[in-house]
Structure 1
Amino acid sequence: MVKPIEIAKKLGISTSALRHYESWGIVPKAERKTNGYRVYTEEHVAYFECIRAMNSGFGMKLIRDIMPMLQKKQVIDALWKVNAIQAQLNKDKQKAEKALAILEQDSFDEMMSPQQSKQWYTIGEAAELIDVVPSTLRHWEQEDLIEPERDRTSGYRMYTKNDLRKLLVIRTLQKAVYSLEVVREILGEMDKHNLEEAIKITRESLVYLDYLVKEQLKGMAYLYRLCQIVEEK
């Protein structure tokens, strides 16, 4: 049996954080002494350690999804959820590399097939090329990050290749947790044909993705240990 204060000191968090995790249902319910104090087991310690280790690489949303699954011994289902996040990180890296290549070449044509290269793109075509849903492009427009032209007859949005390049940069910078103010500043420099800052920050975003993949590996090590404990119960 392990006291809450011992776990809190080991992980560098407060005992109230441990109680929050328990109230969220992401660790098993703790036993209580006759005086009402919680007493945790080594299994609880494994849960707490896994949560802390996975947070920086995967985020709390995934943790809150998979920890209740592990308590139900749905280990494989939980692992596939984790795998989906890892696969998305790989896609994010590919998109960031593509954005950097486009910025460094100052051309979108070389990155596209002949079938994809055209003067105007609909919102559906633009979203597919950037690998986001159309509602994301509408949201970025509401945030004044992008302002596509409109067809005079139908009112439909019309995206140019320069718009697509901006969309790739927006997608890359937001994945790297840059503020909207920073993104707007970079897009403003792009409008002035000054790509140096955009290239610099896009490279930094790739460094951040490299950091995330390491953090995910660390989190996976703790998750593997927790899965072993769960399956051996």
Structure 2
Amino acid sequence: MTTLRPSHLAREHGISTQAVRNYERDGFLPPAGRTPTGYRIYTERHAAALRAYLALVTATGHAAAGTIMTAVNAGDVDRALTVLADGHARLLRDRDTLDQVRRAIGPLTEQPELTGISSIRSIGELAHRLRLSPATLRTWERAGILVPARDRATGHRIFRASDVRDAELAHLLRRGGYPLDHIATVVAQVRSAGGTEELAAALDGWQRALTARGRALLRAAARLDAYLEG
């Protein structure tokens, strides 16, 4: 069996030898053998495990990748495959959300103000429209998702038609499971878009990112399968 040093594994991926040791310590790689003097001995199986782990990091993130590899190395392959399947499920959900966003904001951004929707004078009215609590809308405002104007005389919020658009889009994304900081970024893109072409370009970028994630999941699955076969 060909033996490898930590530097061999590290050099393949442009990482440090200490990172390789840390991955072994954390259970992402199987335990290494030792020489009589205590030096680690790695094999092609360790190299395959490292390739799988790093591919999974790209596809699913550090936490999920670590869970998958520790489960595999503990002999719980079904647990590992379940976590990997969750990554595919999230990607499918994100694709569905993108499709919903395209449908939702296509007609909403054709004009500066939403057709057929007048300004809403109070947070209670907007909350009633969306069937949400005013407290939820205040939270969205603190997160930068909503930026209503203020009545100069009373200081009360005034939700314009564009604010209603932002709130409806945020509500859609929230139902899709997105965190508030992500929703704030998307809504800001919609708010700052100079027209439908700019917004379409932003959505196309989102689509490309989802495609990249899908391919990353395929590569990670292939690496993981190669490790399991070994």
The structure whose Rg is larger is 2
- TM-score under structure 1 normalisation? 0.70
Q: Which residue of 2 aligns with 1:120?
A: 129
> Relative contact order: is structure 1 or structure 2 higher (C-alpha 8 Å, sep ≥ 6)?
1
Q: 1:169 to 1:68 in 2, by over 3 A?
A: closer
What amino acid sits opposite 1:48 in the alignment? L
What is the CA deviation profile of residues 172-208 of structure 1, one whole-angstrom value per residue up to 9, with x for unaligned ones? 9x79x9796x546424336xx8444333212210111
What amino acid sits opposite 2:62 in the alignment? M
Q: Which residue of 2 aligns with 1:201?
A: 202
Residues 26 and 64 in structure 1, CA contact (< 8 A), matched pair in contact too: yes
What amino acid sits opposite 2:142 in the alignment? Q
Percent identity (aligned): 24
Q: Aligned ranges for residues 1-233 of structure 1 at < 5 Å?
A: 1-106=3-108, 120-123=129-132, 140-146=140-146, 162-168=166-172, 183=186, 185-189=188-192, 194-229=195-230
Residues 169 and 202 in structure 1, CA contact (< 8 A), matched pair in contact too: no
Q: 1:171 to 1:15 in 2, by over 3 A?
A: farther
**Structure 1 gaps, min length 5:** 109-118, 125-133, 149-158
What amino acid sits opposite 1:97 in the alignment? D
- Secondary structure, in 3 states, of the residue corresponding to 1:123? coil
CA distance in 2 between counterparts of 1:85 and 1:138 reads 32
Residues 30 and 40 in structure 1, CA contact (< 8 A), matched pair in contact too: yes
- Secondary structure, in 3 states, of the residue corresponding to 1:120? helix
- TM-score under structure 2 normalisation? 0.70
- Secondary structure, in 3 states, of the residue corresponding to 1:39? strand
Q: Which residue of 1 aligns with 2:117?
A: none
What amino acid sits opposite 1:186 in the alignment? Q
Deviation of 1:42 (Å): 2.2
Q: 1:178 to 1:147 in 2, by over 3 A?
A: closer
Residues 121 and 160 in structure 1, CA contact (< 8 A), matched pair in contact too: no
Q: Which residue of 1 aligns with 2:122?
A: none
Residues 50 and 219 in structure 1, CA contact (< 8 A), matched pair in contact too: yes
What amino acid sits opposite 2:169 in the alignment? R
What is the CA deviation profile of residues 148-186 of structure 1, one whole-angstrom value per residue up to 9, with x for unaligned ones? 9xxxxxxxxxx95651224446899x79x9796x54642
Deviation of 1:211 (Å): 0.8
CA-atom RMSD, angstroms? 3.7
Q: Which residue of 1 aligns with 2:156?
A: none
Q: How many pairs were matched up?
A: 197
CA distance in 1 between counterparts of 2:218 and 2:138 reads 34
Q: 1:14 to 1:95 in 2, by over 3 A?
A: same
